[in-house]
Structure 1
Amino acid sequence: MPQPSPDGIKDHVFSRTGRVLEFVWSGWAGLAGLCLLAAVWQAGHEAYGQFILSSPLQTLQEIGSLAQDPEAWKITLLTLQRAVTGFALVAISGAALGLLAGYSPAVMRLASPLITVILGVPPIAWIVLAMIWFGGTDATVRTVIVIAALPVVFLGAARGISTRDRGLDKMAQAFGAGPVRRFLTVGLRQTTTTLFPAFALALGTSFKVAVMAELLASAGGIGGALADARTNLDITKALAWVVVSVGLLIVVEYALIHPVKGEVDRWRRAAQPWGVKR
């Protein structure tokens, strides 16, 4: 097997370093948005008072107190594993079914009414049904996550593969690429425009639905902690748990989805200059 040349290794290192630095630099825009949200939050606190809305600083202090409590870590990790495992089920099954439907118009026509029905049922109704079926268990939370988020990934995958450039597929076939290779190198890569935004939306739905199901089903986790804060009328602790939940979502999204998207979409950015893109 031929060994890579030193120049090839150097170019690979520089390319990977550039993508990492660009990813880190892009975080400043997100940080500016969070600072704007904190400013609006502080204005609401000053307008309505402590009983209605705690200040961002008080909420951060409460999060610091939670970080010193081992029980709070168990609560956080419980919700995290429920949301992430539910999202994994959604990502795998939704993408597979969506790709199948995108390649087959007959399957897409058959699935469209079913997707409409699933989207038309509120998540809270699925929570009630899942509570009857499974009680206050992990299965309740994961079931509702799958039902609520799967249509988004399904439609993203189906839309991406059905709108692919078929000319590229024919060109690859002319060069001798088989069906599997054409799918992996041409068809699948063209789905990222719609598939990865669908993944991001499904991940956010997974965390929201997980907390909602935990609260209504008394299944522990962050939802159970929010229920306790509601009972005690502790607005600061309730906001602290909300911030923790959103923080988990941001960490998982930027540690899982965005790096994978950056690696898969390298071919789209090959001719673009480094820096902020339009």
Structure 2
Amino acid sequence: MSRQAGRAQRVVEALAASGHYLWRGWGSLASLCLFLAAWEETAQAFGPLILPTPMAAFATLGGLLDDGGAWPEIAVTARRALAGFALSLGVGSLLGLAAGVSMTASMMARPIITVLAGMPPIAWLILALLWFGAGDGTPVFTVFIACFPIVFVGAMQGTRTLDGQLREVAQMFGLSPWLKLTDVYLPHVVSYLFPAWIAALGMSWKIVVMAELLSTEDGIGAALAVSRSHLDTAASMAWIVALVGTLLAIEYLLLEPLKRRVESWREFASSSN
């Protein structure tokens, strides 16, 4: 009976989690519909030269996708943005974890991170143009240096806020270093890292388009520059929709499943306590 009760409880918990996830999905869909409705009303008020309707933007994007000209530009922008984001995620997480372990390292890193976070991305872009020229190095470096402080601070705060009692309990039960890392330290730190990663992901897309607009001849940023010079507002909005759609796909197909795994671990830990 106890085994059957445990199975029934797990089924109920799984159904509740699925219902919660679907409810969140419906909420996101409702907010998207409200945004599209506001976009439609604004476009009707100001006219297509100022702001095309959502249907006009989607139709233009559909034409670009059918012609095959949009896919290479989207792929180039995604590659540059993800390359800079991955570099900032790896380097920022490792250095942030190391700084969080030592109070001295945290104090020494604070003014440097303040300078990096406060410096405008356009200034880094100008320097990158001088250092790397008009190529992939400029947008990738600009994305990396703009996202690095966000990831670094998230990793450092996650390490600094680790409950000392958890360490004592892990030490008392004689957990191996690997179990301490995977079952005690890592889930707590990742709960701080995920918001930083998502913020850095959004920042990477904005920065890479700005860098491409000023430094490259391909990518969504360069396509936006061409549509602006032609006063083609519909094409500009189509490229913006492609950019936002790619960003949402990466967030909800890549980061969101990982986030749910971490949250499920935290719920399991809290229920077991």
State if a TM-score over 0.5 links the two structures: yes
2:59 and 2:207 map into 1 onto residues whose CA distance is 27
Quick one: distance in 2 between partners of 1:219 and 1:110? 40
| Aligned-pair identity (%) | 41
Structure 1 residue corresponding to 2:241, chosen from 240, 243, 249 = 243
1:176 aligned onto 2:190: no
Q: Distance in 2 between matches of 1:214 and 1:131?
A: 11
Match of 2:250 in 1: 252
- Cα distance in 2 for residues equivalent to 1:121 and 1:39: 37
1:23 is matched with 21
- SS in structure 1 opposite 2:268? coil
Does residue 203 (structure 1) correspond to residue 197 (structure 2)? The answer is: no
2:95 partner letter = L
Q: CA deviation at 1:197?
A: 0.6
Query: CA 1:233–1:156 in structure 2 vs 1: closer, same or farther (change >3 Å)?
Result: same
Structure-2 residue corresponding to 1:164: 162
Supply the distance in 2 between the matched residues of 1:70 and 1:191 (Cα, whole angstroms): 42
Give the C-alpha shift of residue 269 in structure 1: 2.1
Q: Which amino acid is 2:250 matched to? A: V
Residue 55 of structure 1 is aligned with which of 44, 53, 74? 53
Partner of 1:112: 110
Separation in structure 1 between the aligned mates of residue 39 and residue 156 of structure 2, nearest angstrom: 39
Please, which runs of 5 or more residues in structure 2 have no aligned partner?
Answer: none
Say if 1:81 and 1:271 are closer, same or farther in 2 by CA, change over 3 A.
same
Tell me the residue number matched to 1:261: 259
Q: How big is the alpha-carbon RMSD for the aligned residues of Structure 1 and Structure 2?
A: 2.4
- Pick which of 186-195 and 251-260 moved more: 186-195
User: In the alignment, residue 157 of structure 1 is paired with which amino acid?
Assistant: A
Deviation of the 1:271 alpha carbon: 7.7
Query: What is the identity, as a one-letter code, of the residue corresponding to 1:26?
Result: R
1:22 is displaced (CA, Å) by 4.3
CA distance in 1, matches of 2:67, 2:212: 20
Q: Helix, strand or coil: the match of 2:52?
A: coil
Distance change (3 Å), C-alpha of 1:178 and 1:126: same
The alignment's TM-score, normalised by the length of structure 1, stands at 0.89
**Residue 51 (structure 2) pairs with residue 77 (structure 1):** no
Corresponding residue for 1:89? 87
In proportion to residue count, which structure has more helix?
2
Aligned residues of 2:187 and 2:266 also touching (Cα < 8 A): no
TM-score norm. by structure 2 comes to: 0.91
User: Aligned pair in 2 of structure 1 residues 15, 94: CA closer, same or farther (>3 Å)?
Assistant: farther
- Deviation per residue, 1:32-53 (Å, 9 max, x gap): 1111111111111111111101
